[in-house]
Chain A
Amino acid sequence: MTDQDITFTIDGVAITAKPGQTIMEAADDAGVYIPRLCDHEGLRHQGGCRVCTVKANGRSVAACTQPAAPGQTVENETPHINKLRRDLVEMLFHEGNHLCPICEASGNCELQAMAYRLEMGEPTKFPYLEPSRALDASHHDIALDTNRCISCGRCIRASKDVDGKGVFGYVGRGIHRRVAVNGEDLAHTDADASDHAMSDEVCPVGCIIRKRVGFATPIGEREFDKGLIGYEIEGKRRG
Chain B
Amino acid sequence: MAELRKARIATASLAGCFGCHMAILDIDERLMELMKLVEVDRSPLTDIKRFTKRCDIGIIEGGCCNEENVHVLRDFRRNCDVLISIGQCAIMGGLPAMRNAIMHSDAPLRECLEEAYITGRYIRNTTHDIPNDPALPLLLDEVYPCSDVVEIDYQIPGCAPTGDVIYETLAGLLAGKFHGFDRMHIKFD
Q: Please tell me if the beta carbons of A124 and B101 are within 8 angstroms of each other in the complex.
A: no
Question: Distance in Å from the Cβ of A221 to the closest Cβ of chain B?
Answer: 12
Q: Please tell me if the beta carbons of A132 and B189 are within 8 angstroms of each other in the complex.
A: no
Q: Considering the complex, give the chain B residue whose CB is closest to the CB of A134.
A: B104
Residue B69 at the A interface, CB < 8 A? Answer: no
CB neighbours (8 Å) of B142 from chain A are: 130
Chain A interface, DSSP helix/strand/loop, else mixed: loop
Q: How far is the CA of A97 from the CA of B154 in the complex (A)?
A: 22
Our pick among A99, A119, A227 for the contact of B94 (Cβ within 8 Å) is A99
Q: How far is the CA of A219 from the CA of B188 in the complex (A)?
A: 11
Q: Please tell me if the beta carbons of B181 and A119 are within 8 angstroms of each other in the complex.
A: yes
Question: Distance in Å from the Cβ of A234 to the closest Cβ of chain B?
Answer: 13
Residue B100 at the A interface, CB < 8 A? Answer: yes
CB neighbours (8 Å) of A102 from chain B are: 95, 98
User: What number of residue pairs across chains A and B have CB atoms under 8 A from each other?
Assistant: 79
Question: Distance in Å from the Cβ of B154 to the closest Cβ of chain A?
Answer: 7
Interface size on B, residues (CB 8 A): 34
CB neighbours (8 Å) of A93 from chain B are: 92
CB neighbours (8 Å) of A106 from chain B are: 188-189
Q: Considering the complex, give the chain A residue whose CB is closest to the CB of B153.
A: A123
Our pick among B148, B157, B189 for the contact of A121 (Cβ within 8 Å) is B157
Q: Please tell me if the beta carbons of B98 and A99 are within 8 angstroms of each other in the complex.
A: yes
Given A123-B151, A124-B91, 20 other A-B residues pairs in contact with their CB atoms under 8 A: A97-B102, A99-B95, A100-B159, A100-B189, A101-B94, A101-B189, A102-B95, A117-B183, A121-B186, A122-B155, A123-B147, A123-B152, A123-B153, A127-B148, A128-B93, A128-B145, A130-B97, A132-B101, A132-B105, A228-B183
Q: Please tell me if the beta carbons of A100 and B88 are within 8 angstroms of each other in the complex.
A: yes
Q: Please tell me if the beta carbons of B88 and A147 are within 8 angstroms of each other in the complex.
A: no
CB neighbours (8 Å) of B154 from chain A are: 123
Give A residues with C-beta under 8 Å from B.
Answer: 93, 97, 99-103, 106-107, 112, 115-117, 119-124, 127-128, 130-134, 147, 219, 227-228
Our pick among B97, B103, B180, B184 for the contact of A99 (Cβ within 8 Å) is B97
Residue B85 at the A interface, CB < 8 A? Answer: yes
Q: Considering the complex, give the chain B residue whose CB is closest to the CB of A100.
A: B188
Q: How far is the CA of A120 from the CA of B181 in the complex (A)?
A: 10
Q: List residues of B (135-161) whose CB comes within 8 Å of A's CBs.
A: 142, 145, 147-148, 151-155, 157, 159
